Amino acid sequence: MNFRNVGIVYRKELTEWVRDRRTLISTVLVPLLAFPILMVGMISLTTVMIGKAEKEIPKVMVLGGEDSPQILQKLRQVDKLEIVPAADDYKKRISEKEIRAAVEIPKGFDSALSRGEEQTVKIYFYEGEIKSSFGANHVEKFFKDYRDTVVASRLASRNVPASIIKPFEVKQENVAPPEKVSGAALGGILGYMVILLSMTGAIYPAIDLTAGEKERGTMETILSSPISRLDLVLGKFFLVLSASLTTAILAIFSMGTSFYVVGKSGLVPSKNAAALQLHIGLATVLSVFLMALPLAVFFAAVLLTISLFAKTYKEAQSYLTPMTFVVVIPAVASLLPGVELTPKLALIPILSTSLVCKEIVAGTFHWNYIILILLSSSVYAAAGLFLAVKMFQRESVLFRS
């Protein structure tokens, strides 16, 4: 191997790469803009939708209750509810969003209540429809508050202390430090994003530097120069790896900034904003990148190998598109609840890295697994690179017609 030649090829590929508008879009603009737009857009939209739903005074239909003026009067006094007259087609009206919910008051509610008989108030709503749920919640809260008032007055009339029905409190308290809480929520996403973006960031340059060269007729030009195929493939490989890591770094930077800005902007309620504040230090981010590095090497080498096999840019694209699924499926699998590192899973590429990144971001360092995964993914990376070099030495691939 001649480092000077590898460097010459790398610098030339870099020059061409930064001059390519498509590169600017796929490697720089998409990762930098995708997250802010997605984050701010989604959160703003959700905030607006929830805000509108919360501000709305829901129309609620009261079914029955003609013989219970007391409860009807109390219901009508609730500011947050607009009571509409009863109708038989209440279910249809809820479905068609004319009203948000309906409440069915049992026959003789007031008198049964005074006799202390048990009875059930039914609330009808449309599950999954946020405004209907809010309406139903308002109604439910009203009845629960009313029930508590009734219970309290019954106890008071019998001179029984309120604690008789609540002998003790049950309370959960979190002991996990903030980084672990955010790590559990966002850790999986960080690893997943680094892995996915280091793959997607490598696709375009891998195609351009192989099938693209064949299509443009420059492959034969470079093969006529004295550079060895090993140096040539390494120069190209380092460029693809650089593109892959640049995309991932820019995306992580953009994701972190978006989370921070959205969390601070007041767009989301303060208790949710706390969850968006990534309590992830630079060391953690670097650890994630270190774990993902052999995988990025593996991606760069495999993508180069596959796209070299193609004769044209389009053919290479059709080969590499399914590759996205091959990467996404194990990466997503690691996000599923309950999927945890085991010695066997530590040997599965992509899945193992994604899982260990989740652990690292959550502040847990299983050194045995970290070493095992680094070793196994380095072996895969070396195999991928070996394959790429071998592929560049095959005339049947370089001059496939």
Instruction: Point out which residues bind other proteins (CB under 8 A).
Output: 5, 8-9, 12, 15-16, 19-20, 216-218, 220-221, 223-228, 395-396, 399
The position carrying tokens 């390519």 is: 20
Per DSSP, the residues of 86-120 read --TTHHHHHHTTSSSEEEEEPTTHHHHHHHT----
Residues 351 and 188 sit within 8 Å (Cβ to Cβ)? no
Question: What torsion do the CA atoms of 66, 70, 76, 77 make, to the nearest 10 degrees?
Answer: 170
Neighbours of 44 (CB within 10 A): 14
The residue (of 83 and 222) whose beta carbon lies closer to other proteins is 222
CB of 224 to other proteins, least distance (A): 4
CB of 212 to other proteins, least distance (A): 10
CB of 27 to other proteins, least distance (A): 15
The residue (of 20 and 110) whose beta carbon lies closer to other proteins is 20
CB of 203 to other proteins, least distance (A): 19
The residue (of 52 and 314) whose beta carbon lies closer to other proteins is 314
Paired tokens of 187: 């850790």
The residue (of 15 and 172) whose beta carbon lies closer to other proteins is 15
Residues 236 and 9 sit within 8 Å (Cβ to Cβ)? yes
The residue (of 173 and 395) whose beta carbon lies closer to other proteins is 395
The residue (of 144 and 394) whose beta carbon lies closer to other proteins is 394
Paired tokens of 234: 């390494």
- Residue 345 CA: distances (Å) to CA of 281, 286, 295, 356, 365: 27, 23, 15, 10, 16
User: Cβ neighbours of residue 227 under 8 Å, at least 6 residues apart?
Assistant: 2, 5, 8, 9
Hey, what amino acid is at 196? L
CB of 20 to other proteins, least distance (A): 6
The residue (of 226 and 322) whose beta carbon lies closer to other proteins is 226
61 CB-side CA count, 13 A = 21
CB of 277 to other proteins, least distance (A): 42
Burial class (CB in 10 A: 0-12, 13-18, 19+), 253: middle
Per DSSP, the residues of 329-373 read HHHHHTTSTT----TTGGGSTTHHHHHHHHHHHTT---HHHHHHH
The residue (of 227 and 379) whose beta carbon lies closer to other proteins is 227
Task: Give the residue from 293, 294, 304, 296 showing the smallest Cα distance to 388.
Answer: 304
The residue (of 231 and 359) whose beta carbon lies closer to other proteins is 231
Radius of gyration of the chain (CA): 31
CB of 9 to other proteins, least distance (A): 8
CB of 293 to other proteins, least distance (A): 28
CB of 24 to other proteins, least distance (A): 12
Paired tokens of 244: 């892959």
